[in-house]
Structure formats: structure tokens, C-alpha cells
């Protein structure tokens, strides 16, 4: 007999590992009632974000369900990291074409691994039948006035990234089984595969940036495009030096032109991009000692737009849905 909706929820989502992954007192009531109850800490604001994952757009046709579960939650949590928020809970709106129990078990296991890694609890959701679609809403908290916004950068601020760029695009090449360069070692290939399917949202770094960085976001659609969002929101120019943009050793297996294109315009990196007032530059070494590979890649200046090695960047060239109706 096929599993009913409620048995499915009970078996694969109302699991203690998912419900208790965050271990936060903030979740006063989780799965099982008509809605969840959350209680932010005194003096905190909610930080809320929603992401949808559609097969063929956000993830390749070939995937392992546990990787998909991990990635779906990680990319959503990255938006909390970008706002300098502490993750608390998430909801899952799952649309499935059929009930496939091995698929559900694997998906739930990957989701649980990500929930534990990012300390965020599953607090509810919805389960329906239809073409595969994964909608995740994440809920976090931040002290009032401490959220990291895209606006707020000032001329003279340092432009920094929280880690290497281009791994998301390189990882996509690996997972879609494109022809890979001979120089790519098996360990590097596995690293890139993991960077694509199991990105780690930079929550700890985001928390450290609260009240210190002047502006920030997460790089999901390509460095230049996301830098353009920060420049526009802050009303200034961002000048980047291409030589200072960091990449992993794995990407060195590709020709420089391909590597550069991925680092500047590839998507799916989920590292933080932020501006730091010059007087806070001393924090950079402190963060590096804590294991966050932060680097300075440019500066904010009066003006507009994104500049690379002194040249204005036209149409930053990252990923856009509905690109045919381009809005500039
Ligand atoms: P209702 O019909 O009142 O909306 P549902 O039957 O959809 O309630 O859900 C019952 C409970 O199970 C709710 O607490 C809901 O949040 C939770 N739930 C449903 N689907 C999921 C899911 N995919 N993941 C986690 N919790 C879920
Ligand atoms: Mg419902």
C-alpha cells in the first residue's frame, strides 16, 4: 500500500534529527500543529528568506537525492549568513511527482546533514503532488540594527570575499560530466563536486561581520553581478583587482581564460562579499586565524558601477532568470 501524506511526513520529515538540528530554544512548537511557534531572543529581529529549487534550472537532471536535500537547504541558509543572522528554523514545501521511499529517505538524510551542519531545525512544511519542486523558507535572528545590508558601503571601504570564487561553476562542470582537464586530480574533482552539491553557508563569518562590515551579500549569481547589486544599493563604485580574486587550487587545472570567467561570472559559490571600513582591516587576520579564508579584492569609491582592473564592467554577466526581458 502506498504511503499516505501523513505517514510520509511522519517518517521522513518529523524526524528528531531534523527537528532538533538547531537545538535552539527559539522553536517553541515545531512540526505537527497547523503552524509552528518561534520566539526570537529579546532585542532581536526576524530574518526571513525563501528559495525555490526547480529541476533543470537550479540543479542538473542527474543528481543523488541526498545531495539535492543538502544543497536545497544550504543555498537558503546562505541568505541568512549574508544578512549576518543566526539560523533558527526552516520550512519545507515539497512537491513530488510520486512517492518513492528510497528517494525520500536519501533526500531526508541529506537535508538532515545540512540542518545539523548549519544548526537549523525543520519546523514545518507542506507536501503535495506535482512536478518536483523544493521550496524552503529559512528563519533566523539578528540583533536589532545589526543586519548586514547591501546598502551602507562607504567610499574608501575595502571590498572583501569570504572564500574562493569559481568553484560553483567548476563544480557544475564536474557534476554534469563535461570533459575535464587531464591535470585535475581525483581529490580536486571530489572537492569541486562537494562544493557544488554541499556548499557550506558562511554563517559563522556572517555573524562575525555583524556590526563590523558596512555592507554585504552572498555571491550566488556571479561575483561581478552581485558586486553590481552592492554598488547600486550603496550608491557608489566598486573597483576590483582581478589578480586579487582568490580561487581554489582545483581550478588551476583549467586554462586561465576559463578559470577567470568562472571566478568573475560563474554562479553558485555562496561565499560572502562584503565591504569593511578601512579602520576594521585588522579584523581580517583575526578571521583568517579562525579559518575563514577572507581576502581583499578591491575598494569602494565615489562613483557608480563595477570596475575591473580600471575598466568599467558592462552587463555584469552572471545568471539571470527571465533574461530575455532584460532590465539592464
Ligand atoms: P495543514 O493541512 O493544516 O496545512 P498539513 O497536513 O499540510 O497541515 O501538515 C501537517 C503538519 O506537517 C504541519 O505541522 C506541517 O507543517 C507539517 N509538514 C507537512 N509537510 C511537511 C514537510 N514536507 N516537511 C516538514 N513538515 C511538514
Ligand atoms: Mg498544509
CATH of the domain at 38: 3.30.1330.10
The number of distinct structural domains making up the chain is 2
Residue 328: per-residue pLDDT: 41
* Same domain, yes or no: 125 and 200: no
- Taking the C-alpha atoms of residue 173 and residue 222, their distance in angstroms, rounded to an integer, is 15
Give the three cell numbers for residue 150: 547591501
In eight-state DSSP terms, residue 250 is G
* Same domain, yes or no: 227 and 94: no
* Same domain, yes or no: 61 and 207: no
Give the three cell numbers for residue 328: 539592464
The pair phi, psi for residue 93, each rounded to 5°, is -100, 110
Give the three cell numbers for residue 250: 582545483
- Taking the C-alpha atoms of residue 262 and residue 242, their distance in angstroms, rounded to an integer, is 12
Residue nearest to atom 27 of ligand 1 (CA): 125
Helix, strand, coil percentages, rounded to 5, for the chain = 35, 25, 40
Cα 32 to ligand 2 centroid, rounded to whole Å = 10
Range of the domain at 310: 158-315
Nearest to 88 by CA among 174, 36, 26: 26
The answer, yes or no, to whether any atom of ligand 1 lies below 6 A from the CB of 327, is no
* Same domain, yes or no: 162 and 138: no
Q: What is the CATH number of the domain that holds 211?
A: 3.90.650.10
pLDDT means per 10 residues in the chain (328 residues)? 84 94 92 94 97 87 94 98 98 95 97 98 96 96 96 98 98 91 96 97 97 97 97 97 98 97 96 98 96 97 97 70 53
| Three-state secondary structure call for residue 227 | helix
Strand bridging mode 37-38 / 86-96:
unpaired
Q: With contact defined as beta carbons under 8 Å apart, do 72 and 118 qualify? A: no
Residue 153 counted as domain residue: no
The answer, yes or no, to whether any atom of ligand 1 lies below 6 A from the CB of 94, is yes
Residue 213 counted as domain residue: yes
Residue 116 counted as domain residue: yes
* Same domain, yes or no: 63 and 113: yes
The answer, yes or no, to whether any atom of ligand 1 lies below 6 A from the CB of 125, is yes
Residue 325 counted as domain residue: no
* Same domain, yes or no: 165 and 109: no
Amino acid at each position: 500500500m502506498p504511503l499516505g501524506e501523513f505517514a510520509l511526513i511522519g517518517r521522513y520529515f518529523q524526524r528528531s534529527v531534523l527537528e532538533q538540528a538547531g537545538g535552539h530554544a527559539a522553536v517553541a512548537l515545531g512540526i505537527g500543529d497547523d503552524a509552528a511557534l518561534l520566539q526570537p531572543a529579546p532585542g532581536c529581529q526576524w530574518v526571513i528568506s525563501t528559495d525555490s529549487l526547480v529541476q533543470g534550472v537550479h540543479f542538473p537532471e542527474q543528481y543523488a537525492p541526498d545531495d539535492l536535500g543538502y544543497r536545497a537547504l544550504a543555498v537558503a541558509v546562505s541568505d541568512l549568513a549574508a544578512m549576518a543572522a543566526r539560523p533558527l528554523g526552516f520550512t519545507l514545501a515539497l512537491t513530488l511527482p510520486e512517492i518513492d521511499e528510497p528517494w525520500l529517505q536519501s533526500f531526508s538524510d541529506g537535508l538532515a546533514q545540512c540542518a545539523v551542519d548549519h544548526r537549523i531545525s525543520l519546523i514545518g512544511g507542506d507536501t503535495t503532488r506535482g512536478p518536483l519542486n523544493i521550496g524552503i523558507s529559512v528563519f533566523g535572528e539578528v540583533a536589532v540594527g545589526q543586519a548586514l545590508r547591501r546598502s551602507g558601503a562607504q567610499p574608501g571601504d575595502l571590498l572583501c570575499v569570504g572564500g574562493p570564487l569559481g568553484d560553483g561553476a567548476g563544480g557544475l562542470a564536474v557534476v554534469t560530466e563535461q570533459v575535464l582537464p587531464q591535470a585535475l586530480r581525483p581529490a580536486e574533482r571530489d572537492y569541486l563536486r562537494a562544493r557544488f552539491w554541499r556548499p557550506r553557508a558562511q554563517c559563522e563569518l556572517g555573524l562575525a561581520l555583524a556590526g563590523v562590515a558596512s555592507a554585504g551579500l552572498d555571491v550566488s549569481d556571479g561575483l561581478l553581478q552581485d558586486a553590481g547589486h552592492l554598488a547600486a544599493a550603496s550608491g557608489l563604485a566598486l573597483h576590483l583587482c582581478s589578480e586579487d580574486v582568490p580561487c581554489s587550487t582545483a581550478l588551476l587545472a583549467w586554462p586561465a581564460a576559463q578559470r577567470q570567467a568562472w571566478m568573475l561570472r560563474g554562479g553558485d559559490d555562496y561565499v560572502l562579499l562584503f565591504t569593511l571600513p578601512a579602520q576594521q582591516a585588522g579584523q581580517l587576520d583575526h578571521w583568517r586565524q579562525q579559518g575563514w579564508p577572507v581576502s581583499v579584492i578591491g575598494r569602494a569609491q565615489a562613483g557608480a558601477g563595477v570596475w575591473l582592473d580600471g575598466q568599467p564592467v558592462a552587463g555584469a554577466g552572471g545568471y539571470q532568470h527571465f533574461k530575455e526581458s532584460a532590465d539592464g
